[in-house]
Chain A
Amino acid sequence: MNRNTLSGVIIFVSSLILFVILSYIAVTGGVGKHPSEEINSLGQFFVNNSYNVFNKTFWAGSPEAVTSILWDYRGFDTIFETTVLFISIGGALVLAYKKINWDKLITPLSDKGLTLIVKTSVKIISSIVVLLSLNLALRGYISPGGGFAGGSAYSIAPLLLISGLSIYYITRLGYKLHKMINIRTIGLLGLSIVSLIPLIWFGYILQNQSKPSTVFPGYPVYIGPLYLGGSLIYLNISEFLVVSTEFIIIFLAMFLLLKSTKGEAE
């Protein structure tokens, strides 16, 4: 007991010292620059060029500077981030998988639960969430949003349906585990196809618009009157599929696991 108090005091004092030193370093400008009138020259380059209609040498074809950095200028970052997501979801599934038999669990539940008003409002809210997230993902190259925001917003809808209605309801709607894994594979395939197509014209991997040193003509920015924003729309849709299905896989695994061990305890 005495030793525990002593170690608690030591931990408290050392994190206090760490915090004081870090704040001193930050205030004197050690963690980088402070916010000021000018931004970093690298960030200024992206701001200048992402939709520079007057000089299209380095442009990305999208007025959304953040999305064009994510998928054009620093696309490799995002690709490897998708890999990390893939691996950690796989790890979580491995931890859950030994516990249960997936196929036996999808059985109809008895139809008690919340009242009709709650159920109807949950249905309405979740369809609004689906529409909003599709809007976020499809218009991510013009307005704020994109694959990540759309995907994580979309995965809220089945979560609401599970907690408001039942897991049987959403499996009847088609949110089955193996189907989700297949859709995720389609999304990953879309990412790799769109990023590898420029190699046919000896361009770079993940190249979006034409660059001075390559012959790749670039993905179309306009098809007729329709504004498409180069490769960003395809990559956003693929990433939307990947992120949303991976989160839905996590939630399905979570609730099926919850149900199974409750049954064991009784």
Chain B
Amino acid sequence: MSLTNILLIYIYFIIFATGGLAIYGIISKNNLIKKIIALTIFGDVVNSLIIFIGYRLVPKPLPPILPSLNPDKALYKLYVMSSVDPLPQALVITAIVINVAVIAFLVFLVVRIYNSYGSIEYDELIRIDRGGST
């Protein structure tokens, strides 16, 4: 097994461990703001996995931007042979901006919940909802 393969497996392992930790945080943390923090981390993990699939394992990969406006044949051929995949990057840009909007909505929702119920702890909210005291 070559060094490249070992590194690939290690990166997958670490990134999925981060994702598992984030899912654990989303499900089991009691504080709603902690849940939102875990959600932002989970978004990062998914985005980095998507970009990682489009990476190119050549000695000198290039970003998907042609460096010249009047390329000659040789430059164009080099670019085509060694550019990374632009499609996952385009998908991830929109995903990041949507994520921001959704997180902003959730933050306003949490503040609203606190104004109405006086708590942002999940079990306390359930207790209040069932008619008990805080």
Residues of A within 8 A of B (CB): 8, 11-12, 15-16, 18-19, 22-23, 26-27, 31-40, 42-44, 46-48, 50-54, 63-66, 69-70, 74, 77-78, 81, 84-85, 88-89, 91-92, 95-96, 99, 142-144, 146, 148-149, 152, 227, 243, 246-247, 250, 253-254, 257, 261
Assess whether B2 is interfacial by the CB under 8 Å rule.
Answer: no
Partner of B85 from the list A39, A63, A84, A148 (CB cut-off 8 Å) is A39
Contact of B56 among A8, A37, A66, A253 (CB under 8 A): A37
Chain B residues proximal to chain A, CB less than 8 Å: 8-9, 12-13, 16-17, 19-20, 23-24, 27-28, 49, 52-58, 63-71, 73, 76, 79-80, 83-91, 93-94, 96-98, 100-102, 104-105, 107-109, 111-112, 115
Query: In the bound complex, do residue A66 and residue B108 qualify as a contact, i.e. CB atoms below 8 Å apart?
Result: no
**Bound Cα distance A50, B100 (Å):** 29
Cα A54 to Cα B72 in complex, Å, equals 9
10 contacts between A and B (CB under 8 A): A8-B28, A11-B27, A19-B20, A27-B12, A31-B53, A37-B58, A44-B80, A65-B86, A70-B94, A85-B97
Known contacts: A70-B94, A84-B98. The answer to whether A92 contacts B13 by CB under 8 A is no
Centre residue among A40, A53, A65, A78 by max chain B CB count within 10 A: A65
Inter-subunit contact B65/A63 (CB<8 Å):
yes
User: Complex Cα distance A69/B85, Å?
Assistant: 11
Query: How distant is B79 from chain A, measured CB to nearest CB, in Å?
Result: 7
Pairwise interchain contact B86-A148, C-beta atoms closer than 8 A = no
Inter-subunit contact A81/B105 (CB<8 Å): no
| Known A53-B71, A144-B63: A40·B80 in contact at CB below 8 Å | no
Is B20 a contact partner of A15 (Cβ separation < 8 A)? yes
Give, as a whole number of angstroms, the nearest-CB distance from B90 to chain A: 4
B71 to chain A, nearest CB (A): 7
In the bound complex, residues from chain A placing their C-beta under 8 Å from that of B90 are 66, 69-70, 74, 77
